């Protein structure tokens, strides 16, 4: 039985045994230079980049590599951060917002570089589109393309008008869009596993089924698990929504939001290609988004639901399939082979949350659904900061973050009420 959720990602990655060797739980005591908590993209990237710099590194994963969001996501590698550049400018100023934008573009290049340099087999495809359902959204896309061109010097993205859009995507649902060939999509679980396997080849020790229960400070730092302890000089916390009581101060800054994806049965190459002719990943710009793309084995992968309550009362398969049919009614007779969900860690302002929790304890979290590329760079920035070169990491650390209101008991109901306005706005 797979240790992962029953997803198409897990099923299609299962044959890649070279990237998924059995790994032991931590038992007894070990000592390294740097400990990493969390076996998603950020943690595996941090371990890899630290090992490239010559550090002795051990990584603790509570389940198995890629078990959380990194191995379940919509897997669209895109520029920017989830809150958008205008919001980011209000948080850190125009200069730092531009620097963060440039680093998000660098994140895409880094991802492609890692895939090529370390021969990571993860079905990478170039091209990503944002699409508008109504005139207000079309204006927003045009304004963004113009802003990126004039103010940020980013010329890769372009507008796609209605006729061209309908030649690319076999639906009448959208009226305009953008296309960016520097963005793309991939198999997120294979990518995460590939980073982990590369890190191991560089000397990183990876322990699965080794949840970090707490850490304490003495002559150094000691991270305790159920069966062992990891002693290190510096620590990188990359557990995101799953970090929990290991660092309560961080948990107050994020909340896990449920998101859901389905995979149709294999459609065959010709029929799948007719749905999205340029094989780009596609996302609409509603607050509650639909996102979809073709898989390497000619399925349609479609995500389209968000649960701020943390519950799934409507049924993942049925409700997400209904959203898919609003986009592609021609798939009415097509069965769904897989349906799965997971938690995306969001911050109150939807900007990523990086920082130093205390001396020598660094963290990255709060990618807010925008992390498939940025998490790779976050790992590199962690390695830079731990090496004493924190200038770029500190730009992200300057973003201000507040706790979710309502405390442990009331913050989720408060979030559900707040999101009602945005859901209504999608309908206007």
Question: Is this prediction's pTM over 0.75?
Answer: yes
* Residue 182 maps to a domain: no
Backbone angles phi, psi at 391, to 5 degrees: -55, -45
Residue 367 lies in a domain: yes
Q: 281, 293 in Cβ contact below 8 A? A: yes
Q: pLDDT tens for residues 158-194?
A: 999 999 999 999 999 999 999 999 999 999 999 999 9
The answer to whether position 45 is within a domain reads yes
Report how far apart, in Å, the C-alpha atoms of 262 and of each of 51, 294, 314, 316, 334 are. Answer: 36, 12, 14, 8, 12
Number of domains into which the chain is organized? 1
Both tokens assigned to 48 = 């890899």
Among 83-92, 362-371, 404-413, whose mean pLDDT is lowest?
404-413
* Residues in contact with 283: Cβ distance below 8 Å, sequence separation at least 6, in sequence order: 74, 76, 78, 128, 129, 130, 131, 289, 290, 291
Q: How confident is the model at residue 97 (pLDDT cuts 50, 70, 90)?
A: very high
C-alpha–C-alpha distance, residues 280 and 348, integer Å:
30
Partners of 304 in the beta sheet?
A: none
Q: Which helix (H) or strand (E) holds 44?
A: helix 41-52
Query: 248 CB contacts (<8 Å, ≥6 apart)?
Result: none
The contacts of residue 322 (CB under 8 Å, 6+ apart) are: none
SS3 291: strand
What percentage of the chain carries pLDDT values higher than 90?
A: 79
Q: Report pLDDT digits (tens) over 27-43.
A: 999 999 999 999 999 99
- Whether residue 109 is contained in a domain is answered as no
> Which phi and psi angles does 418 have, rounded to 5°?
-65, -35
Q: Is the pLDDT of residue 417 over 70?
A: no
Higher per-residue pLDDT: 232 or 243: 232
Assigned domain for 64 exists: yes
Count CB neighbours of 248 within 10 A.
10
Mean pLDDT of the chain: 91
Element containing residue 344 per DSSP (H, E): strand 336-347
* Exposed e or buried b per residue across 95-127, where buried means at least 16 C-beta atoms within 10 angstroms of its C-beta: ebbbbbbebbbbbbebbbebbeeeebebebbbb
Identify the pLDDT of residue 18. Answer: 57
Q: How many CB atoms lie within 10 A of CB 364?
A: 31
**What is the C-alpha radius of gyration for the chain, rounded to an integer number of angstroms?**
21
Instruction: Please give the Cα distance from 355 to 128 (Å, whole number).
Output: 30
Residue 198 lies inside a defined structural domain of this protein: yes
The torsion defined by the Cα of 180, 100, 260 and 313, in degrees rounded to 10, comes to -140
193: domain CATH number?
A: 3.50.50.60
- Distance, in Å, from the CA atom of 172 to the CA atom of 177, rounded to the nearest integer, reads 12
Q: Is residue 29 part of a domain?
A: yes
- Say if 31 falls within a structural domain: yes
CA 148/CA 159 separation, integer angstroms:
12
Find the domain containing 224 and state its range: 8-73+189-253+349-407
Per-residue pLDDT tens for 351-366? 999 999 999 999 999 9
């Amino acid at each position: 039985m797979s240790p992962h959720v029953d997803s198409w990602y897990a099923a299609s990655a299962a044959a890649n045994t070279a990237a998924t060797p059995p790994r032991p739980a931590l038992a007894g005591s070990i000592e390294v230079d740097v400990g990493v908590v969390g076996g998603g993209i950020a943690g595996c990237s941090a371990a890899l980049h630290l090992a490239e710099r010559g550090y002795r590194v051990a990584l603790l994963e509570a389940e198995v590599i890629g078990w959380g969001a990194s191995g379940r996501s919509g897997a669209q590698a895109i520029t920017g951060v989830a809150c958008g550049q205008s919001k980011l400018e209000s948080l850190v100023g125009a200069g730092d917002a531009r620097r963060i934008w440039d680093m998000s573009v660098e994140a895409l290049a880094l991802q492609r570089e890692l895939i090529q340099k370390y021969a990571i087999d993860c079905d990478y495809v170039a091209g990503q589109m944002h699409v508008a359902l109504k005139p207000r959204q079309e204006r927003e896309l045009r304004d963004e393309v113009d802003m990126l061109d004039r103010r940020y010097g980013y010329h890769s993205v372009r507008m796609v008008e209605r006729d061209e859009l309908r030649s690319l995507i076999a639906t009448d649902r959208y009226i305009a869009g953008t296309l960016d060939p520097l963005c793309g999509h991939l198999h997120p679980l294979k990518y995460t596993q590939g980073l982990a396997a590369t890190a191991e080849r560089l000397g990183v020790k990876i322990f699965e089924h080794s949840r970090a229960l707490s850490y304490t400070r003495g002559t150094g730092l000691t991270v305790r698990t159920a069966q062992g302890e990891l002693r290190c000089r510096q620590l990188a916390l990359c557990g995101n929504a799953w970090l929990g009581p290991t660092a309560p101060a961080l948990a107050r800054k994020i909340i896990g939001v449920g998101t859901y994806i389905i995979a149709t049965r294999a459609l065959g190459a010709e029929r799948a290609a007719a749905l999205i002719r340029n094989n780009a990943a596609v996302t609409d710009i509603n607050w509650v988004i639909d996102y979809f793309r073709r898989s390497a084995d000619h399925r349609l992968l479609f995500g389209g639901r968000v649960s701020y309550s943390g519950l799934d009362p409507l049924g993942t398969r049925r409700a997400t399939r209904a959203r898919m049919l609003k986009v592609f009614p021609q798939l009415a007779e097509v069965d769904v082979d897989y349906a799965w969900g997971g938690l995306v860690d969001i911050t109150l302002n939807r900007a990523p949350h990086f920082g130093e929790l205390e001396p020598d304890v660094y963290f990255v979290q709060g990618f807010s659904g925008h992390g498939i590329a940025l998490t790779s760079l976050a790992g590199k920035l962690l390695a830079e900061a731990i090496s004493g070169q924190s200038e770029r990491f500190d730009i992200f650390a300057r973003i201000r973050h507040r706790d979710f209101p309502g405390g442990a008991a009331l913050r989720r109901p408060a979030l559900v009420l707040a999101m009602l306005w945005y859901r209504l706005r999608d309908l206007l």
